[in-house]
Structure 1
Amino acid sequence: MATGPTRSSPVDSPNPAFDDLHRVLEASPAVTYALTRDGQSLRPVYISAHIEELLGYPVADWMADPQFWRQCLHPDDRERVLAQSARHLPEGLVDHEYRVRHRDGSYRWVHDRLRLMPARDGRPAMAVGVWQDITHRARADRLLRTLSHLTARVTGDDFFRTLVRHLAEALDMRYVLLGELPGHPPTRVHTRALYADGAIRPNVTYPLAGTPCARVLSDEPCHYANDVCRDFPEDELLREMAVESYFGVPIRRADGTITGLLALMHDQPREISATERAVIALFAARAGTELARHQAEEQLQLIDQVFEGSRDAIIITDAQTRILQVNPAFEAISGYREEELVGRTPRLLQSGHQGPRFYREMWEALKSRGHWQGELWNRRADGETYPSLLSVSAVTNDNDEVTHYIGIASDITSHKAAEQHIDYLAHYDTLTGLGNRRLLEEELERMLRNARGGRPFALFFLDLDRFKNINDTLGHESGDRLLEEVADRLRDLAGPQATLCRIGGDEFAILAPGLSHRQTAGIARQLVEGISRPYEITERPLVVTCSVGVAVHPRDGTRREALISAADTALHYVKAHGSNHYQFHEPGMTAAAAERLHLENDLREALLRGEFELYYQPVLDTERLTVCGAEALLRWHHPEAGLIPPDRFIPLAEETGLIRPIGTWVLREACAQAARWRRLGLTGMTVSVNVSGEQFWRDELPQAVRQALEAQALAPDALVLEITESVLMHGSANTETRLRELKAMGVGLSLDDFGTGYSSLSYLKRFPIDTLKIDKSFVRDMVRDEHDRTLAQTVIAMGHGLGLQVVAEGVESAEHLPLLRRARCDRVQGYHFSRPLPARALSRWIQQHQCSRSPQD
């Protein structure tokens, strides 16, 4: 801790002149202080007593701890102040403004000037400084910064409401009132804006007599620092609001006639500084302009009071637009000194961004309305152009003749940069940097407007095949990396003239101008081939294919909506016919797309209307041909189209996400039927339910299975979930976790369509699968085809070697049974025994089958 005096008074000195100097410093309204170098830092050796009046802390606190000053700095100012002090003190002078914490927790603005006195005569280097309280001036500066915003952006009643809110918040006033004084002489006050307790209140009208507002008419300004209700006992509004202090100023016309008033009130005693009075008067003058629709000479006089301190650029010209005066902010923004501008016109600031028509319209507005506001580009003295927000008002005399023009401008370079960023976000995808759907639509409209004479261009819609599996198995981070790499490839493949957009999660669009049919087909082919090259985003190369739909202008449409619909229809056609290739739009596709849309709409209502039904195909023990289970198969009875095949609506349900609620219904219905069979004595019957990939990867699947079983009090081993090999092909940790979660519930797990996907013995070994179902494509031809017979026998042997049961589906003739029995296949299923039947029909079939089955079967 630094040593030194602990009070402001120095040690008694025999030098009278020194004592006189000390008295002068102590009497100064500013805080004076002295620092001496102590190693690499400075410590205080003198601080005038006025510091306690300014900030509430006694001198001893500052003298005892050299770090006390740092601790009192406002957190938002500390880094800047310390950096400026370190940078400028060695140069001999530090001059800056910042906030310091008062003992009561509030902050005061101070102006700090510190001068370094070099060491001499064996004495250490010292620094002498002065603090001045500029809190009121800083508050006034904040008020002034709102002036340009108010005059340039808000008019009429919106201006009045904004004004009272700004004044109340900036000056910490509880109430601010802006009122009109109608009539000659006025007898009442009608508020145009009333701010109370943090909100704009409804306007009111009240008598003028007996209120401090009446005093405003004769006493400018009218200020009651405390106990205002005592002086105006008849003012009910003051009593209702519990007003303690009041400050009011009149609002005048250009001829000096008072037309209104601006009153600021608080529920505690409140002094109004001279600077605050000047600023409030300036706002009152601006309010008078709005009330009277004239620009008053008083406005110029009031603006001049704060002219030098404004943070916005202010320029005053005569009626011939010759520059008379500019403020320091104008010099700082434009780079011109005032002497370079006086006598010249604002034309030297013109950037060339606006043409003659712009300035004609501006002057027409000034002549007709006396005011103009807008944005324009100006040129600084160094030639740099910058955007500004400008408000220009004409000042008239008593004869309604223009005598001056006043312009208030703000440099809005940072605002424009923010606008550009917002525009970028509105038109571009932040992940890939490509355009978004909005940019595609705007660019498509532009190309259609410019496509004179039917100039051709192509619109490509590209969609990644089975991208959802990437997100589900590898995670969204890997999915995002894949999208970024796809975007990079598209930039290389589409060429510099094309417009690239990401219009959906994994859907992209490309606009390519001036292409022939052959060139368009070539690009489409390159897209399919280029996107399918392996990606190095995981430990193993990842292959992702894509589908491309193509629409061509003008063949497929001359309107934006028509071309987008055509490309989208062609893309859906590709997806419905195997994916991984491209397709031009053809006329017949539109009808097919419309039919598909109608089917999708009907599918959304089918569950609510009870149009679904479960059919069941029996599963039999191969040796004894006893019925041991049934596979639930969904059927849709459309009220108009009749029975719709599953291969038409199941893919649509998976694509639209409807498979999730439909799958939940299937689980509940299948478990209910299994419970009925068990009540009928078929205790060994299991029911198998197919689970789509969309269901499997959703977290609600285990809960849906659990609820379906609990609703029927059904044992878990009565339910078998059939999952296709393609769903499990990635073999990720998530796959194994989900399977083990389901297995822990006690349900059976069957791998469906085995042999048609990405078969891997390691998957079979690791995953908790109970049953393999050999795909019917192998079983159907095993009677005639030796290779299929060998494949089927191999799969059966392999399944048994892994401890799995094996089911052969697609058994369509009696010749299959001997072959499957010799191969020791466990169970069989197929048309040879029964087609899928409704539940009741299957129950009858089971009874007939049991009765008709001979002991030798």
Structure 2
Amino acid sequence: MPLARDKDVAVSPDLYSAGLGTALLVTGSSKQQSWGKRWLSRAGFDVKGAANVDDTLRHLADMRPSVVIVDARMRDVTGRSLFELVLEKRRNNACVFVLCKSARDMEDVARHEDAEILRKPFNWQLFSQRIMRAAAMHNMQQELLHARKALTAARLDATSAQRHVLAMRGIDSLTGLPGRERFINHIARLRKSAAENSSPAVLVLGIDRFDLINDTVGHAVGNQVLHQFAERLHALLEKDDLLSLSDTSTLTATAGRVAGVRFGLLLSVTNVDEIQRIADAIGSCFERPFDSDGQSIYLSITMGAACMIDDRAPACNLLGLAEQALEEARRANVRLEFFDPSSANQRARSLMIEDMLHTALPRRQLNLAYQPIMDFHGRSVVAAEALLRWSHPEIGEIAPDEFMPIAERTDLVSDINEFVVEEVIRQAAEWAQTVDAPGRIALNLSYAQLMAGNIVELMRQSLSRHSVTADQLQVEVRESDLLNRSESVFDVIYQLKGLGVKLAIDQFGTGAFSVALLEQLPLDTVKIERLRVNAPRHDRRSDAIGAGIVAIARRLDLSVTAVGIESDAQIQRLRNWGCNEFQGNFFSPPVAASQLTADTIPGMKDRFRSAAALRATGRHAFVPDMRPESRPLTA
């Protein structure tokens, strides 16, 4: 059949401006190249030609054509049909048309659903119309796909913006309840406005063993349950009979999410019996199961309560006292415990420490000590953990375990963050210029520290100010601070990783630990808790668990640091597990930064010489010169 000439066809003017994209015409026939380019150009395509395999693949990569027309009989060097290769290599799901000269060609092409057949005789006038329609449909589909992606991105941005707005307002994004800081503000306002015959009281509800739910059905379902928990608590507070004292008197109540799986209830009460009644109603309410996709999930809760004792005490103290009562209830295995005023001595000390803590930083009473982290051989200090110390001129040394929980209940934790981050990075800059100094500094941050202020921006600015590379800093987060937490803390961790900071999970392997954390977080190091390290040497069960934990971490290419080393026998045992770094008083207690090199730590080299001598006599001891590649990666 003769090919139609230009004057024989009237082409729609719309085709010249259709903007159909690029068409790639692949054929070794100069005649088909000529006629194909003419008619495809008239249809609105930018046409490129290719006569061999190499040109075809290059054009596919560079041009990203919306349409490819390829001769069915063209093959690559292996004898494979070129159109099959085009189907694999095409971008943006380009339309593929195959020129078929025989029935066998059409049979080969028909086996591929994504390829369309153009059969002989080749009438390019008709072909161009058909290809034009296919390309127009393809472009519409691509535009729809891009629109869907843009809509999804916009929804994600809107969700993120909504969470940001809620966070700025002090609202927990998961439950819609006031967060801890806003809840404390509610306490302060209620204390000022409370009637003469009533006083503020806080009832804290803690969900027991919630980590089992996360580990069993996943964090997504766990978040759903927390959301339902908050809704049920809110609905309970709206019941008319719960807060009614009489026909004319009603209690006021405000709920909030004060920690990961802890909820606070702020009440204005006249006596303890009212708190007991409300606690009983709450306990009965949460005996009913929660539903998640048809699955019933039962929760048990423990409660702690406290009433305002001292009008001068900060509002956060009342919440803290209720949380102390909650912990006491758990220890006593009872549903509700009231804060015992007989513990006033401890409370008085806490208030005194809180008061002194406000002046500790300005008076330079806080400082950092550093405990070395030794390499596999025990010859070099490869890192150091920064440990916060408070030396008070009158009271003496105050342990971090005592003053940090107090700081975390107040805004003082932000000030401590600024001091610690600045001092650690300043020290890292100094050590970077010192021979035999540690290559990185480990900094342990609690959940409250991670969520207080912009810890990420603090580190970014300090790293830049001191010209310190981020990998000189290792942020350690306790495993217990990651379980049952909102996504916000994981966002902070990923932002820190984005700076280039090394990340470690501390105190791993005790309690209800979650191996999933090793997979979910961008970790560099796992630190084995001292309780695991100090387990009896001949305890086969404990030894198997410890070795298994280390083996998993090493298989994930994580460094493993054993903490709390006190003897060379422990080192040998932990090296057999696969640990490659060691920390503990066996090497050195925490010391001043000026003392932290292998030459200046008192007695370090003598300890290792002694250990080697013991082994030479046949006694079990740590051997400093064993090659690291000899250590096993499995239990």
1:752: how far off? 0.7
1:762: how far off? 3.0
Partner of 1:700: 454
Report Cα offsets for 1:497-526 as digits up to 9, x if no partner.
48543357444244677887xx97686566
Q: Is the 8 A contact 1:531 1:544 kept in 2?
A: yes
1:815: how far off? 1.8
Partner of 2:381: 627
Change (3 A) 1:478 1:525: closer
Q: How does 1:489-638 map to 2 (within 5 A)?
A: 489=236, 496-497=244-245, 499-502=250-253, 505-506=256-257, 507-510=264-267, 524=279, 527=282, 545=301, 547-550=303-306, 570-571=321-322, 573-574=324-325, 582-638=336-392
Change (3 A) 1:485 1:781: same
1:561: how far off? 9.1
Q: Which of 234, 255, 262 pairs up with 1:487?
A: 234
**1:825 and 2:579 are equivalent in the alignment:** yes
**1:717 and 2:464 are equivalent in the alignment:** no
Q: Is the 8 A contact 2:381 2:597 kept in 1?
A: no
Gaps of 5+ in 2: 1-175, 212-218, 258-263, 613-622, 625-635
1:620: how far off? 1.1
Q: How does 1:192-203 map to 2 (within 5 A)?
A: none
Q: Which of 568, 577, 582 pairs up with 1:814?
A: 568
- Distance in 1, Cα, partners of 2:304 & 2:356: 27
- Distance in 1, Cα, partners of 2:520 & 2:329: 30
Q: Which amino acid aligns with 1:463?
A: V
Q: Is the 8 A contact 1:799 1:806 kept in 2?
A: yes
**1:761 and 2:515 are equivalent in the alignment:** yes
TM-score by length of 1: 0.41
Count of equivalent residues: 405
Q: Which of 737, 741, 749 pairs up with 2:503?
A: 749
Q: Is the 8 A contact 1:635 1:646 kept in 2?
A: yes
Q: Is the 8 A contact 2:325 2:338 kept in 1?
A: no
1:644: how far off? 0.2
Equivalent position SS for 2:474:
strand
Q: Which amino acid aligns with 2:304?
A: V
Equivalent position SS for 1:726:
helix
TM-score by length of 2: 0.54
Equivalent position SS for 2:356:
helix
Equivalent position SS for 1:653:
helix
Change (3 A) 1:679 1:515: closer
Partner of 1:770: 524
Equivalent position SS for 2:499:
coil
Q: Which of 645, 665, 669 pairs up with 2:419?
A: 665
Partner of 2:202: 461
- How much is the aligned-residue C-alpha RMSD, in angstroms? 4.6
> Which structure's residues are more often helix, by fraction?
2
Report Cα offsets for 1:232-274 as digits up to 9, x if no partner.
xxxxxxxxxxxxxxxxxxxxxxxxxxxxxxxxxxxxxxxxxxx
- Distance in 2, Cα, partners of 1:701 & 1:628: 25
Q: How does 1:69-218 map to 2 (within 5 A)?
A: none
Change (3 A) 1:748 1:443: closer
- Distance in 2, Cα, partners of 1:576 & 1:662: 26
Change (3 A) 1:594 1:535: farther
- Distance in 1, Cα, partners of 2:442 & 2:198: 55
Q: How does 1:316-335 map to 2 (within 5 A)?
A: none
Moved more, 682-691 or 580-589: 580-589
Q: Is the 8 A contact 2:474 2:503 kept in 1?
A: yes
Q: Is the 8 A contact 2:201 2:266 kept in 1?
A: yes
1:791: how far off? 1.6
Q: Is the 8 A contact 2:305 2:339 kept in 1?
A: yes
1:442: how far off? 7.2
Q: Is the 8 A contact 2:474 2:504 kept in 1?
A: yes
Q: Which amino acid aligns with 1:717?
A: D
- Distance in 2, Cα, partners of 1:560 & 1:665: 32
- Distance in 2, Cα, partners of 1:806 & 1:495: 54
- Distance in 1, Cα, partners of 2:177 & 2:485: 28
Q: Which amino acid aligns with 2:252?
A: C
Change (3 A) 1:846 1:617: same
Report Cα offsets for 1:71-102 as digits up to 9, x if no partner.
xxxxxxxxxxxxxxxxxxxxxxxxxxxxxxxx
Report Cα offsets for 1:354-409 as digits up to 9, x if no partner.
xxxxxxxxxxxxxxxxxxxxxxxxxxxxxxxxxxxxxxxxxxxxxxxxxxxxxxxx
1:591: how far off? 3.7
Change (3 A) 1:684 1:835: closer
Q: Which amino acid aligns with 1:571?
A: A
Q: How does 1:102-501 map to 2 (within 5 A)?
A: 445-446=196-197, 461-465=202-206, 483-489=230-236, 496-497=244-245, 499-501=250-252
- Distance in 2, Cα, partners of 1:489 & 1:653: 33
Q: Is the 8 A contact 1:431 1:484 kept in 2?
A: no
Question: Which has more radius of gyration?
Answer: 1
- Distance in 2, Cα, partners of 1:539 & 1:737: 31
Change (3 A) 1:543 1:710: farther
**1:646 and 2:405 are equivalent in the alignment:** no
Q: Is the 8 A contact 2:443 2:475 kept in 1?
A: yes
Equivalent position SS for 2:565:
coil
Q: Is the 8 A contact 2:389 2:398 kept in 1?
A: yes
Change (3 A) 1:624 1:529: farther
1:681: how far off? 0.6
1:808: how far off? 1.1
Report Cα offsets for 1:554-604 as digits up to 9, x if no partner.
xx98x9999x99976852532575879633343423343232222112112
Q: Which amino acid aligns with 2:305?
A: G
- Distance in 2, Cα, partners of 1:547 & 1:669: 40
Partner of 1:729: 483
Partner of 1:8: none
Equivalent position SS for 2:409:
helix
- Distance in 2, Cα, partners of 1:466 & 1:845: 51
1:625: how far off? 4.2
Q: Which amino acid aligns with 1:712?
A: H
Moved more, 703-712 or 584-593: 584-593
Partner of 1:785: 539
Change (3 A) 1:808 1:504: same
1:548: how far off? 2.2
1:810: how far off? 1.6
Q: Which amino acid aligns with 2:575?
A: R
Q: Is the 8 A contact 1:628 1:685 kept in 2?
A: yes
Report Cα offsets for 1:523-574 as digits up to 9, x if no partner.
65665685687766999969695642255xxxx98x9999x99976852532
- Distance in 2, Cα, partners of 1:756 & 1:725: 9
Report Cα offsets for 1:104-137 as digits up to 9, x if no partner.
xxxxxxxxxxxxxxxxxxxxxxxxxxxxxxxxxx
Partner of 1:270: none
Equivalent position SS for 2:496:
helix
Change (3 A) 1:444 1:566: farther
